[in-house]
Chains A and B, each alone.
Chain A
Amino acid sequence: MVKKRIIPCLDIKDGRTVKGVNFIGIRDAGDPIALAKKYVAEGADELVFLDITATVEKRKTLIGLVEKISEEINIPFTVGGGINSIEDVSLIIKAGADKVSINSAAVKRPQLISEIAREFGNQSVVVAIDTKYETNDWFVYVNGGKVPTQLKSVEWAKKAEELGAGELLLTSMNNDGTKNGFAIDITNLVSISVNIPVIASGGAGSKEHFKNVFLQTKASGGLAASIFHFGEIPIPELKKYLKNQNIPIR
Chain B
Amino acid sequence: MIAIIKYNAGNVKSVENAVRRLGFDCIVTDDKEKIKAAKSVIFPGVGEASSAMEYLKRYELDDLIKSLKQPVLGICLGQQLMCNYSEEGNTNCMAIFDSIVKKFPPLDLVPHMGWNNLIKTKGELFTGVNADDNVYFVHSYYAEIIADTSAVCDYILPFAAAMQKNNFYATQFHPEKSASVGEIILKNFLNL
Which of A3, A74, A98 lies in contact with B179, CB distance below 8 A? A74
Q: Indicate which residue in B13, B21, B111 contacts A196 across the interface (CB closer than 8 Å).
A: B111
Q: Which residues of A contact B21 (CB under 8 A)?
A: 71, 74
Partner of A120, one of B46, B115, B174, B179: B46
Task: Report A-chain residues with C-beta under 8 Å of the C-beta of B109.
Answer: 195-197, 220
Interface residue tally for chain A (C-beta within 8 Å): 30
The answer to whether A121 and B46 touch (CB under 8 A), given A75-B177, A196-B110, is yes
A27 to chain B, nearest CB (A): 29
A194 to B136, CA, bound (A): 22
Tell me whether A2 and B46 are in contact (CB under 8 A).
Answer: no
Interface string of A164-185 (1 = CB under 8 A from B): 0011000000000000000000
Minimum CB–CB distance for A17 against chain B, Å = 21
Q: How many angstroms from the CA of A47 to the CA of B154 in the assembled complex? A: 25
Q: In the complex, which of the residues A40, A71, A121, A220 contacts B114, with contact meaning CB atoms closer than 8 Å?
A: A220
- B46, A123: Cβ atoms closer than 8 Å: yes
* Docked CA distance A137–B48 (Å): 38
Q: Which of B14, B47, B115, B180 contacts A45 (CB 8 A)?
A: B115
| Cα–Cα, bound, A40→B181 (Å) | 13
Q: Smallest CB–CB gap between A100 and chain B, Å?
A: 12
A222 at the interface (CB under 8 A from B): no
Find out whether the CB atom of B183 lies under 8 angstroms from the CB atom of A94: no
Q: In the complex, are the beta carbons of A123 and B114 less than 8 A apart?
A: no
How many residues from B make CB contacts under 8 Å with A? 37
Residues of B within 8 A of A (CB): 10-11, 13-14, 17-18, 20-21, 46-48, 106, 109-117, 134, 136-140, 154-155, 174, 176-180, 182-183
Chain A interfacial positions (CB closer than 8 Å to B): 1-3, 5, 40, 45-46, 70-71, 74-76, 93-96, 98, 120-124, 166-167, 195-197, 220-221, 250
Given contacts A120-B47, A166-B138, 15 further A-B contacts (CB under 8 A): A1-B117, A2-B112, A2-B114, A2-B115, A5-B114, A71-B17, A74-B18, A74-B182, A75-B177, A96-B14, A166-B111, A197-B111, A197-B114, A250-B115, A250-B134
Q: List 26 A-B residue pairs with CB atoms under 8 Å apart, sorted by A's residue number.
A: A1-B154, A2-B112, A2-B114, A2-B137, A2-B155, A3-B134, A5-B115, A45-B115, A70-B17, A74-B18, A74-B21, A74-B180, A74-B183, A95-B13, A96-B14, A98-B138, A121-B47, A122-B140, A123-B138, A123-B140, A124-B10, A166-B111, A166-B138, A195-B110, A196-B111, A197-B111
